[in-house]
Amino acid sequence: MTAAAAPARGWVRHAPLLFVLLWSTGFIGAKLGLPHAPPLGFLATRYAFVVALMAVAALWVRAPWPQGARAWGHLAVAGLLVHAVYLGGVFTGISQGLPAGVSSLVVGLQPLLTAVGAGWVLGEAVRPKQWLGLVLGLVGVVLVLSSRLAGAGLDLQTLRHIVHLPGLPAALVALLGITAGTLYQKRYCPSFDFRTGAVAQFLPCLLVTGALAWATEDRGINWSSGAFVFALGWLVLVLSLGAVGLLNVLIRSGSAVNVASLFYMVPPCTAVVAWALFGEALSPTGVVGMVVAVAGVWLARR
C-alpha cells in the first residue's frame, strides 16, 4: 500500500459513521421546509441547485464525464430510484398525513429486502449471522420508533389497520425505490466521478419531479421564509452532496447488504439529533432499541 493510499483507506473506514450522521439529519429539512413548500416542488428545487452546483464544480476541475449513452442511462436509472422515487415517496407520504414514525418503519424494511435481492441480483451470499443481525436491527428500529408511534396516537391495535393510513402507498413506493436503486447501482454503475455522476443522477430527477410538481401541485414555495431557505440549503449541501456522496462511496467499496444495514442506524441517530436539537424525549424503550440496532448492524457488517 502506498503512503497516499493509506489515508484514503482510513477515510473510507470512517465513511459509514459519517454517512449515518449526515443522513439522519434529513428530517431537519423536511420538518422545517415542508410547511412552506409542496413536497415535489421542494424536491425539484433541491435537485436544481444540486445539478447547478455540481455542473460548475465538474467544469471547474475538468472532471471526467460518463462515457457513452449506456453509462449515462445506468446512472440516470439509479438516480431516479434512489433519489426521485425514494425521496418523492417519503415527502409525499408525510405531506399526506402519514406519521413520520410509520414512514421510518416502512422504509426500515429496506435492509431485509436488499438482503433478499442481493442474492438474486448480485449473487451475494448472506450468511446466517448477517440474517440474525438484520432481524435484530429491525427489532431495534421498532423499539426506537415505538415512542414516536405512541405519540402519534398509534398503538398495536391501530397498526393492525395500517393499510388504511393515508400516505402509506407513497411510503411503500419509497421503500421499493431505495431498495431497487441500491441494487441497481451496485450492479451496473458502482464507480463514477462524484461530481459528474451527481449531474447524471440528479438531472433526470429534476426533469421527472419538476414535471410531476407542475402537473399535480398548485401551491407555490414561500421563498420569504427563513426556515425554508435554511432547510433547502441543508438538504442540498449536507444531504444531496455530503450524505449522497458518501453513499456512493459505500456502494462502491462494500457489499449491498453491508450498505443497506447502515439504514438501521438512521432512526436511532435521528432520535438522538431530535433530542439534542428539538428537546424530543428519549424513552427507556428507545434507548434499548438503539443498543439492539447497533448490535444488529455490527453482526450484519462483520
- Please indicate, yes or no, if residue 15 is contained in any of the structural domains: no
Helices 100-107, 128-151: crossing angle, 10 deg rounding: 170
**Structural domain harbouring 118:** 23-301
pTM over 0.85: yes
C-alpha cell at 243: 450524505
Q: Which residues of the chain have pLDDT under 50?
A: 1-8
* Rounded-to-10 torsion of CA 287, 292, 294, 300: -160
- Please indicate, yes or no, if residue 13 is contained in any of the structural domains: no
Helices (H), 96-163: 100-107, 110-117, 128-151, 156-159
- Please indicate, yes or no, if residue 2 is contained in any of the structural domains: no
Indicate the SS3 state at residue 65.
coil
pLDDT in tens, 54-67: 999 999 999 999 99
- Please indicate, yes or no, if residue 209 is contained in any of the structural domains: yes
Total tally of structural domains belonging to the chain: 1
pLDDT in tens, 157-214: 555 555 567 788 898 999 999 999 999 999 999 889 999 999 999 999 999 999 999 9
Instruction: Name the nearest CA neighbour of 102 among 172, 32, 22.
Output: 172
Instruction: Name the nearest CA neighbour of 26 among 270, 262, 210, 265.
Output: 270
- Please indicate, yes or no, if residue 228 is contained in any of the structural domains: yes
